[in-house]
Amino acid sequence: MQPRQGIVEIFSTFVQFDVDQFSGWATDAKLRRSMKVCLEQSLTEESDTFWALYWYRVWQTQSSAVALAHISAYLQEVCYWTARKFVLNFPTQSSVADCFQMAIAHINKILKTFNPQYSSHLKAYAQLAFESIIKDALRLHREADICSDWALLHKLSRKRLVQSLQNAGFNAESIESYVLAWECFKELYTGDNTKIRQLSKPDARTWEAISNLYNAERFSRLSSPTATVNQQTIETWVLSAAKAARTFLYPKFVSADAPLKQEEDGNLLDILPVDLQTSLLTEIIEQEEAANMRSQQTQLNQVLYKAIAALNAESQKVLQAYYVQQLTQQEIAAQLEIKQYTVSRRLSSIKKSLLLTLTQWSQNTLHISPKSDVVDAINTSLEEWLKVQYSHTQIQ
């Protein structure tokens, strides 16, 4: 992959695939114009990290589709390398392009959990998020691949089924009926063995029992009871529910530069609105706020540098091996001639100590209450910070 050069390119170009190989960068003209306007209005030359935070704040304050597209462009490279790492290092039927689309489709979700108060490194935060998203998606797809429709219906929760049917466009009355049919199916059919994944289609007698139960329950369970249904109708409903669930839970991903329709020119990026209130630039990048953020980041770095320097020699060797050399726990144990469980405990103890230090600093300096969700966010930011600092060998 050829790295992108310049702020305009970084925030306006997207990965293109040829089958499963990176083939180049596709430029979006609207995003290119938008980025050029911002650079012309900026009084100083800023880094890509600065502009990533700028577009994050525009997205946060305006729910701007243009800002979201700029951030998506910015995160293309880190998403690509994360996807490629998974395909090379883990057994999977999915391609690099598949994994890339699985991850990049969740930009909105990543931005909702990102907090620049904890870190200004959106790219490093996104890398951790992409890893988690791809891992979860591959696990779900593996389950889907080995699950029959009948097994999938047994694994579904009621909430997921309702979401799946809503996503498929069913109205409220139909959803009620389908859910009741599904509940009757689950109650009466578990197959003749305990291996749920291998469930095969119920026989005619079972379908008859399911339809009888549905007909008996419909008056008390449905707000608008349907007419009596036969076993063929019940089977059709249950299969439709399975199809809707599979589509909703394991969707196929479409590239952002895919054509809108076969008979039309243009792609999905063309529907993004072009108008953006560029006057927001002066409001969001006020010098006082920027200086305050830099000061807090410097303080945070100093606190963590000091905490790491206070660790004993073996703990520092473990951190160097884990984050700089990127060794596995087993490899670290062999290198340091200690047990693997000792490495695991040592890493856990170090991170717990640093997390406590960082949480106390956030409480005392930023006046952030250490609630569970806050601590989780700080923990994620700490892991991101360690990766960034050690990757740049700023900690020796």
Where are the domains positioned within the chain? 1-146+253-284, 149-249, 286-396
Rounded Cα–Cα distance for residues 384 and 303 (Å)? 16
Closest CA to 395 of 322, 293, 292, 295: 322
Q: Strand pairing partners for 17?
A: 22
**Over the stretch 348-360, which tens digit does the pLDDT of each residue have?**
999 899 888 888 8
Rounded Cα–Cα distance for residues 120 and 41 (Å)? 22
Rounded Cα–Cα distance for residues 94 and 97 (Å)? 8
Global pTM reads 0.50
Q: Is pLDDT at 256 greater than 60 in this prediction?
A: no
Q: Please report, as a single letter, which amino acid is at residue 47.
A: S
Residue 187 is given by DSSP the state H
Task: Go through the chain and tell me how many residues it has.
Answer: 396
Distance (Å) of CA 389 to CA 205, 317, 320 = 65, 15, 11
**Over the stretch 78-115, which tens digit does the pLDDT of each residue have?**
999 999 988 888 777 778 888 899 899 999 999 999 98
**Over the stretch 178-235, which tens digit does the pLDDT of each residue have?**
999 999 999 998 755 545 556 778 899 999 999 999 999 999 998 888 889 999 999 9
Distance of CA 152 to the CA centre of its chain: 23
**Matching CATH number, 286-396, of 1.10.238.10, 3.90.1150.10, 3.40.50.300, 1.10.10.10:** 1.10.10.10
* Residues 214 and 229: beta-carbon distance below 8 Å: yes
> H or E element: which one contains 305?
helix 287-309
